[in-house]
Amino acid sequence: MESLFSSIIILLLVSFSCFTSSGALTSSTGNITIKWDLMDWTPDGYIAVVTAYNNQKQRSIPSPGWKMSWRWAKKEVIWSMAGAQTTEQGDCSMYKGNIPKSCVLKPTVIDLLPGTPYNQQISNCCKGGVLKPGLASSFQITVGAAGTSNSTVRMAVNFMFTAPRQQYICGPTKNVMRTKFITPDLKRTTSALMTWNIACVFHKAT
């Protein structure tokens, strides 16, 4: 399973780095908009690219950077990540041999630092959580113990997005039109298998 996941992850890392999302930075649904794009199915779940867009014109997310958390709908686990990491592994004692990176019901994710090895990166990652106006921060996540089709997978819920000296309130997770990606040569367009959207509104400075 580990070798299969590694092959799929490497393939997606290469492909995603060549794609640019159409219209992604023009969203007005939130000061911070989170998109969860399901890119491929795995034997027990899926691989997704999660992107936070800073739609604010003048407000940056400063160091030490953003944190993102959510609650799984089932008992999903995180097999691997690129471009970010969870802050806690949790209790994975029910797994033998191949141990997930996280078994926490409510995982918290943080960005990786600049200088992260290339094989652990994805496009728009690794800025230490700093997110300037009009830019995006992304990571890739391999989710297990989840559904393996559009009808059996469940959306993560109760998202939280936090930043130094800033409070945001996130709305519900919504199943929206699938994100489309276009290659740099403009000759090929692909779509995510599913796209979930979460809009987070700036609440107050702290």
Is residue 129 exposed (0-12), middle (13-18) or buried (19+ Cβ within 10 Å)? buried
Q: Which range (11-20, 75-84, 145-154) has the least confidence?
A: 11-20
- What's the rounded Cα separation, in Å, for the pair 90 and 64? 23
Report the pLDDT averaged over residues 5-17. 40
Report the pLDDT averaged over residues 139-168. 96
pTM: 0.86
- What's the rounded Cα separation, in Å, for the pair 15 and 128? 23
Q: How confident is the model at residue 23 (pLDDT cuts 50, 70, 90)?
A: very low
Q: What share of the chain is helix, strand, coil (3-state, %, to 5)?
A: 10, 40, 50
Express each pLDDT in 42-101 by its tens digit.
999 999 999 999 999 999 999 999 999 999 999 999 999 999 999 999 999 999 999 999
Q: Which tokens hold the place of 141?
A: 């996540």
Q: How confident is the model at residue 13 (pLDDT cuts 50, 70, 90)?
A: very low
Q: How confident is the model at residue 19 (pLDDT cuts 50, 70, 90)?
A: very low
Q: Is the pLDDT assigned to residue 24 strictly greater than 90? A: no
Residue 184: per-residue pLDDT: 82
Report the pLDDT averaged over residues 141-164. 97
Q: Which tokens hold the place of 162?
A: 């936090």
Express each pLDDT in 158-204 by its tens digit.
999 999 999 999 999 999 999 999 888 888 999 999 999 999 999 98
